[in-house]
Structure 1
Amino acid sequence: MKIQYFIPAMIYSLAFALQASANHPGSNLDDVMSEKETFFQAINEPDAPSFELINAQGELKKLADYEDKIVVLNFIFSNCAGVCPLHSARIADIQEKINSTPMKRLVQFISITTDPGNDVGSTLEEYGQTHGLDPINWEFLTKKADDPEDFTRKLAMEYGVKFQPEEAGQQMHGVVTFIIDRGSRFAAKFHGLKFKPINLILYVNGLSHQEKKQKQSFLVRWWEVIYYYFIH
């Protein structure tokens, strides 16, 4: 079997074997990921910064709407001439891999624009189509009409990433992918674009499973097999 088919099949089997049911699976998952992924940062705060935004159809969306999901969240803007397209491509790749497993029903991808004056309506929809993001569990959100123009940039700062407006509609900013556990627990950050996508996938997989030592040990053993043969 070719490696590119074997890895998703292994992840699928692991996800199927361990059914999702509880909240944080203990510190061991964070410890394992901290050891294996240089760009991982465990947060483990009880509440991620909340928000009330709208989608391309003008529907109100709140973080609380996804409290039964694991949320993979990032901040971008459609006219970005820098790293936003690369960030979106990374998210699309992760989404495709997750959606090929039973985790598809457990995970919600959210991108929030920091340029709400430009990113409205059809622009929000077309961005996903352009960058290969599947609307089945991905949404591009923007501010409500009565919110100030810098509303989502301030929200990004609450999450710990700054978007500084510059000339020609560009913004200087960092790149962070945020993981919000079920119940809106702020679980972790993956910094930059050099992290290995499979690490984020396995972290999300770990969050989706019950806190039991034997299951946790099983996850770590499978992680070691994947890491040794295909990543190291």
Structure 2
Amino acid sequence: MAGKKIVLAILSIAFGIAVAFMIEIKKMSSAEILPVYGEIPDFNLIDHHGEVINLDKFKGSVWVADFFFTSCAGICPRMTEQMTRVQEAFKDNKKVKLASFTVDPETDSVWVLSMYAKGWGAIDGKWFFVTGEKRNIYELARQGFKLPVEEGDGGPGDFIHSDRFVLVDGKGRIRGYYSGTDPDEVDKLIKDIKIILKER
């Protein structure tokens, strides 16, 4: 009789473990996995403090990039407003950063960007406003971030205007594109950042 009870107890434990295992497998299979669209190459540019900024600054962090210019009166203020939403959602998480690259570096000097950052309440060390050589920025936008913009050589007549926010993971891989003027798309971006933060 005692032997029968032991066997039943073992079977019950084994069944419980099997059920728990199946539930965990189901959770893992239903978890959303974001695609990988490519890798960001390294770059050497200047942030709004006048310091060199490169890919190492974002290593191990989930980050969002956009391309704008401070004198833009159209979509840029709306994009920057949406970036402040992303900053607010992750203001206490040091693993989330933002980078806004100017497409008009001749106008957007370090001082201009620093004033712009201050005006929008950018958190120091979290949200970087980036300038540098125009050709380098434009090559990074087209070849690095793979933004859907017209071809150009980064010369005086070349100009990029994109409303895209680009989501990049801690390994420098592009994981998503979102309209920076659409609050619903930015809601999805915030959700996707949380998904990547859970990745191992």
| Residue pairs, 1:182-193, within 5 angstroms | 182-193=170-181
Report the Cα distance in structure 2 between the residues aligned to 1:191 and 1:182, rounded to whole angstroms. Answer: 21
Shift of residue 50 of structure 1? Answer: 2.9
**Does residue 97 of structure 1 match 2:100?**
no
Asked if the contact 1:110/1:138 (under 8 Å) is kept, the reply is: yes
Name 1:202's counterpart in structure 2: 191
| Distance of 1:117 and 1:191 partners within structure 2 | 26
1:23-82: CA deviation from partner (whole Å, max 9, x where unpaired): xx989524xxxxxxxxxxx65035224321111232111113311100111111111121
Q: Which residue of 2 aligns with 1:150?
A: 135
Is the contact made by 1:69 and 1:107 (CA closer than 8 Å) also made in structure 2?
yes
Amino acid across the alignment from 1:162? V
- Runs of 4 or more consecutive aligned structure 1 residues displaced over 4 Å after TM superposition: 25-28, 169-172
Name the CA distance, whole Å, in 2 between partners of 1:27 and 1:191: 26
- Give the whole-Å Cα distance in 2 for the aligned partners of 1:205 and 1:66: 17
1:27–1:126 Cα change, 3 Å: farther
Length, aligned pairs only: 166
SS of 1:29 mapped into structure 2: coil
Mind listing any 5+ residue stretches in structure 2 that lack a counterpart? 1-27
Q: CA, structure 1 residues 90+47, in 2 after alignment: closer, same or farther (shift >3 Å)?
A: same
Verify the 8 A CA contact 1:69 1:182 in the aligned structure 2.
yes
Q: CA 1:27 to 1:180, structure 2 compared with 1: closer, same or farther past 3 Å?
A: farther
TM-score between both structures, scaled by the size of structure 1 = 0.63
Aligned to 2:32: 29
CA change 1:94–1:57 in 2 (3 A) is closer
Larger Rg belongs to? 2
Structure 1 vs Structure 2 CA RMSD? 2.8
Report the counterpart of residue 19 of structure 1 in structure 2. none
Equivalence for 1:173: 161
Does 1 or 2 have the higher relative contact order (CA < 8 Å, sep 6+)?
1
Match of 2:9 in 1: none
1:45 and 2:37 are equivalent in the alignment: yes
Structure 1, unmatched stretches of 5+, are 1-24, 31-41, 212-232
Tell me: CA distance 1:94–1:26, structure 2 relative to 1, closer, same or farther (3 Å).
farther
Query: Are the aligned partners of 1:176 and 1:191 in contact in 2 as well (CA < 8 Å)?
Result: yes
Q: 1:164 to 1:90 in 2, by over 3 A?
A: farther
| Superposed displacement of residue 98, structure 1 | 1.7
Secondary structure class of the residue paired with 1:65: helix
Alpha-carbon separation, structure 2, partners of 1:124 and 1:75: 13
Residue in structure 1 matched with residue 149 of structure 2 by the alignment:
162
Identity, % of aligned positions? 23
TM-score in terms of structure 2 length = 0.72
- Output one character per residue of 1:136-157: Cα deviation in whole Å (capped at 9) or x when no partner: 40010111xxx4x333123222
Show CA shifts across 1:83-107 (max 9, x none).
11110000011211221x5xx2110
